[in-house]
Amino acid sequence: MEKTTQTLMDPLFQLAKRAPFNIAPERGKNLSEEVFVKGRWKLITTHGEANFYAYPVEAKVTASYAGLASLWCLSYAAFHISDIASRLQREIDTGAKHFDIGKFCAELQIYQYINYARDLFHSDREWPSSLKIPNVSAMFEAPEGRVNNIFFGALSWILLHEIGHVHLKHEKDIPVDQRLRQEFQADNFATCWILDEAGFGIQREFRVLVVCVALSWLFLNEEKLGQGRDHPAAITRFQESVAKFEMGERSAGLENAAYVLKAIFDPASKSPACETPKELFEWTANRLTELFRK
């Protein structure tokens, strides 16, 4: 089997158009009738480096195969990081011990997935033989199915961001400060669409986690390519989105997101003993601010 991003991602892409509907099914009718205007939009694939783009005039969003592969690898890492950390945390007394999540990630070769995800921002390249191949048919209860679930959840935020550009009729040939404002508006559109009617149960916990995975993808992009003139700093976009989470002190979504963010971007530091998951997430967010401050 040829291991290109196109051959491996095309089966997932066939389901991608449903992602914005599936992440917030309670708003499906609004999305169809008010945003998509009963089908008046297109999602198509492209080749080249990892990216997603919106073309408001054409009501079109493009997703590169490398972009899909990059996000899938990040989702693979996110699932296994949160799974490892959650199981380890349950085995120790709160604050009594410290476990090195970076060590466990290295043993599972998680960083190979992250490195490949990062490299795809520079150029498309063949799928490494050491990485597992996506299985679009995996059962939800299986690890492969849970990876796919995180992937489609994170993809929904990215697509809704681009859809926001289309829906809000954003322009490209405008001053840089207005381009930056449009990016914040598109972020807000995506985050609010996913969370506004999510309630405060397990659905919201999952949605917060996948939004953080999508935001992690922005951090990887910035690490590899730099900020760029027409997009805000990833840390600022992260802070703006996090401000809309409205999660409780014992949030499992924030806890898992904290594990993921720390393992990917700050594996060497030792986190303090935190009383609650929210406190751990806030500490991790502060560390990201230190690491990505411009």
- Is the distance from CB of 267 to CB of 198 less than 8 angstroms? no
CA distance 1 to 11: 14
Q: Specify the residue for token string 């992690």.
A: 216
pLDDT at 229: 81
φ and ψ of 54, to 5 deg: -115, 145
- Is the distance from CB of 277 to CB of 254 less than 8 angstroms? yes
**Among candidate residues 156, 250, 260, the one with its CA nearest the CA of residue 205:** 250
**pLDDT tens-digit map of 265-294:** 998 888 888 899 999 999 999 999 999 986
Those residues of the chain that have pLDDT short of 70 are 1, 38-39, 91-100, 102, 294
CA distance 231 to 250: 33
CA distance 61 to 96: 49
Residue 124 C-alpha from the chain's centroid:
19
* pTM of the predicted model as reported, rounded to 2 decimal places: 0.94
| Burial (CB count <10 Å: 0-12, 13-18, 19+), residue 59 | middle
CA distance 152 to 232: 24
pLDDT at 155: 99
- Is the distance from CB of 102 to CB of 108 less than 8 angstroms? no
pLDDT at 96: 46
